[in-house]
Amino acid sequence: MKTALITGITGQDGAYLAELLLSKGYHVHGVKRRSSMFNTDRIDHLYQDPHESNVHFKLHYGDLTDSTNLIRIIQEVQPDEIYNLAAQSHVKVSFETPEYTANADAIGALRILEAIRILGLTKKTKFYQASTSELYGLVQEVPQSERTPFYPRSPYAVAKLYAYWITVNYREAYGMFAMNGILFNHESPLRGETFVTRKITRGVARIALGMQDKIFLGNLDAQRDWGHAKDYVEAMYLMLQQETAEDYVVATGITTTVREFVRMAFAEAGIELEFSGSGADEKAVVKAVASPDIKVQPGTVVVAIDAAYYRPTEVDLLIGDPIKAKTQLGWEPKYDLPALVKEMVASDLALFRREKLLKDQGFQVLNQYE
């Protein structure tokens, strides 16, 4: 029976990965931050009462900015595998919190690698670093592969560049099983509410139910290679089951604009859009609705631009080449983009129908995202 330690277990990927590893019989330990409110919504269904016997799931308070805490947790857990998923993961926010982002995302990875070394676990513990397609930044070539040069375009990406190289360095210097998964954007109903896909599917659901007028977005021309988080955590697991540590790109190989994602998400809820204007004046207007239950009228502006969502430096185009992951790991995604959009819109419609019902009955909804 293997033991895994997951940092960032309360996040989107942490939740799916914990579920996957538990289903494979692992003992799963997770690092969670102390928060003034509960922050374990995504993993509450996995919770096991520590007073019971045969407990396979345990959380530890910790933070990637605290070395002694990480050393203590790793010493206690003696993990076979560490998945370092914790990060300040929002690109736009990293421009506002660059030093904190570097501390958590760059030095955080170093702290874990050092803890493995200090504790004499270099031969026992395999290390996965959550690297990112943001490393490619300013387009050098497409599709982007393990050999494409990096050109990071945000404090987040620069911090992740350090984490990428320190992982490679510890592998080469100390013979550790330490590797990078260079994952392209992956989404799900558990995606954080301020990333563009979830922001759109939440907005679509609320507009369709008459709970919101419009969505304000930034750059609709950006192109992303979007996959499903469930498929991507499967790749993480496969990477750590290999004999030798290597770095892998995980992607779908298909790119789509933010504008097209908007169109697909509204269509999924039965709302047909027409786009007009360009740049900061672009708008999307409702052209037709599929049923009288949809609480928005044709002619209504439902998407407008707010320049506050533009980034000082943007990553325009991401398309990954997943051939190495497919051939060496046998990885094959189960979801395509239409299936992903369908699942996200259905999930947000169900969420907000429930909320609307409660509100209509006079109950106050304690929703931290309102």
Residues near ligand GDR (CB under 6 A): 89, 91-92, 132-134, 184-185, 194-196, 199, 217-219, 222, 224, 258, 309, 311, 314
Among 132, 180, 252, 347, binds ligand NDP (CB under 6 A): 132
Any contact of residue 89 with ligand NDP (CB under 6 A)? Answer: yes
Number of H helices, E strands in the chain: 11, 15
Among 3, 4, 5, 8, binds ligand NDP (CB under 6 A): 8
Token code pair at residue 324: 């190495």
Between helices 337-360 and 258-268, what is the axis angle to 10°?
60
User: Of the listed 134, 234, 268, 355, which one is catalytic?
Assistant: 134
Token code pair at residue 240: 């750590």
How far is 349 from 154, CA to CA, in rounded Å?
A: 33
Query: Catalytic site residue 156?
Result: yes
Any contact of residue 153 with ligand NDP (CB under 6 A)? Answer: no
Among 85, 109, 233, 240, binds ligand NDP (CB under 6 A): 85
Selection from ligand NDP, ligand GDR, none that 11 binds (CB < 5 to 8 A by kind) is ligand NDP
Residues 50-69: x where in contact with ligand NDP by CB under 6 A, - otherwise, as a string: -------------xxx----
Among 5, 74, 86, 161, binds ligand NDP (CB under 6 A): 86
Query: Catalytic site residue 246?
Result: no
Selection from ligand NDP, ligand GDR, none that 144 binds (CB < 5 to 8 A by kind) is none
Cα 139 to chain centroid, rounded: 22
Residue whose beta carbon is closest to ligand NDP: 11
Under 8 Å between Cβ of 116 and 167: no
Q: Which stretch binds ligand NDP (CB under 6 A): 29-37, 48-56, 115-123, 145-153?
A: 29-37
φ, ψ (nearest 5 deg) of residue 156: -60, -50
Selection from ligand GDR, ligand NDP, none that 86 binds (CB < 5 to 8 A by kind) is ligand NDP
How far is 331 from 263, CA to CA, in rounded Å?
A: 30
Under 8 Å between Cβ of 130 and 13: yes
Under 8 Å between Cβ of 214 and 302: yes
The one-letter amino acid at 149: P
Any contact of residue 186 with ligand NDP (CB under 6 A)? Answer: yes
Rounded least distance, CB 244 to ligand GDR, Å: 25
H or E, element range at 302: strand 301-305
Rounded least distance, CB 306 to ligand GDR, Å: 7
Selection from ligand NDP, ligand GDR, none that 180 binds (CB < 5 to 8 A by kind) is none
How far is 130 from 183, CA to CA, in rounded Å?
A: 7
Among 14, 137, 143, 203, binds ligand NDP (CB under 6 A): 14
Q: How far is CA 126 from CA 82, 173, 199, 338, in A?
A: 6, 15, 35, 35
Contacts of 303 (CB under 8 A, 6+ apart): 214, 215, 216, 217, 262, 273, 283, 284
Selection from ligand GDR, ligand NDP, none that 135 binds (CB < 5 to 8 A by kind) is none
Query: Catalytic site residue 128?
Result: no
**Residue 120 burial (CB < 10 Å; 0-12/13-18/19+)?**
exposed
Rounded least distance, CB 225 to ligand NDP, Å: 10
Beta bridge partners of 249: 182
Selection from ligand NDP, ligand GDR, none that 311 binds (CB < 5 to 8 A by kind) is ligand GDR
Q: Is the peptide bond before 79 cis (omega within 30 degrees of 0)?
A: no
User: Of the listed 156, 237, 248, 335, which one is catalytic?
Assistant: 156
Rounded least distance, CB 221 to ligand NDP, Å: 19
DSSP one-letter code for 317 = B
Task: Supply the residues annotated as catalytic.
Answer: 132, 134, 156
The residues binding ligand NDP (CB under 6 A) are 7-8, 10-14, 31, 33, 35, 39, 63-65, 85-89, 104, 130, 132, 183, 185-186, 192
